[in-house]
Structure 1
């Protein structure tokens, strides 16, 4: 028995050593990946500064999740701090002297917002550019127009603290930055009339993929705090959250209140601060698009 226990102990120590070595290698790989250069050709969008562009840009800033990380004043805020080593603080993106965007040109904004790449080519680890990659050139220019006219605010640079396990998962490719997820060669979306249509709804739905996935299938959000619940499935299939909503009115009410038709509460992880800012047209179009996916699947059977 003593010999068996001794061998088991040695085996356990070897296993722990191998695991520690694997984690160390993955963390080192993650560091190299975070420092890689991503070459992206910007779209060459012209600047805008007219009142209509600023108004549209302000709407996009409030309704597409920008305030969740950067704050309503653009000064940046801590949006995740689990007290266990995971801390994420977004940078100041106002035109204040010394802010990370103070010298940004349109191409720099394009790479950062739609591609998740800093001006020097390094990937932006936390920027959810997969949500913004499909912005039309007009919407992208409008968003930049709004950001450039914001009052200068006091705020620092980004702060990204990741636990060793998350850094290892990043090195292993389980957790990916936005620049890894995006097809950088794909042209921006073409303008779509704002109306309660499935086409416009599909455009709005691009803002959901950061959490719900490119196919809107939901599931665990890679790199998120472990206490966060899985994102709901929005696409057709078993367990789709869309089965809860018989009509657009019920869906829009939930997006505004965080309360489902049955009275249950949606997790506050959902960015309701931004969702409440969405227009009725955007939300109803999103509903039409998501319900249309279900209809398309049923018709294909």
Structure 2
């Protein structure tokens, strides 16, 4: 019987082409991956990889072993599903990846829900930016991932994954309490000449804001370049300037600021749940999936400035 970890390391090299890329993907050192490949070579007695310039080309034997790693993972998942079904009550471990604001605003409340209502289900959370979450799901490292994509910059989703739209994360204008914009029926950035603004340094909101202000030919001043949304909000509360902050993961607004919905076509990000197409369904995973979908809908609705 081959060691599954050795086969997974080989599979990563087969898919990514280099020991360095495989090590980064597996969160090992390159030396550890090289040692695993050497051990697998000794155990099989067959040449597995041939160097072609910067890349390692897999031999037919390597492709067979890499496929075996996937088959073993599938058998493991199917066996776990059948064992869960025998227990009657959903139980087991479900691994969820999410980008930082999804972990904070969506997955953390989910953890609390399962701890209270389904203690037999153990949620394991991986904080991963969207591209990494997609990759981890495609390779079977996590059961599912919450990722986001911008309308202008869609994610590349491998064919092995299915996607479900959880909702759209809107951005709001954050202003000091009592600002005139809180009394207007509609607000655009063109309606705000002479304002000072706080934005991040390189993000899509910063680029959109500057382009919109310049297109409208209204005077403005960039008063702060701040990447953390919580810090932007606090600076707005202390009258440094206005800010644009997405709803998901946003903490309750402190005294001294209000959120105002913009009428502009501000960049929006779609929240997606991604899973492998060949995922073996099991009771615990089904419950997590359903709860995640409900949670996303209710939280995004509740974050609207117009919600009661």
Specify the TM-score bucket, using the shorter chain as the normaliser: under 0.3
Q: Give the alignment's TM-score, normalised by structure 1.
A: 0.23
Larger Rg: 2
More strand by share: 2
Query: TM-score, normalized by length of structure 2?
Result: 0.22
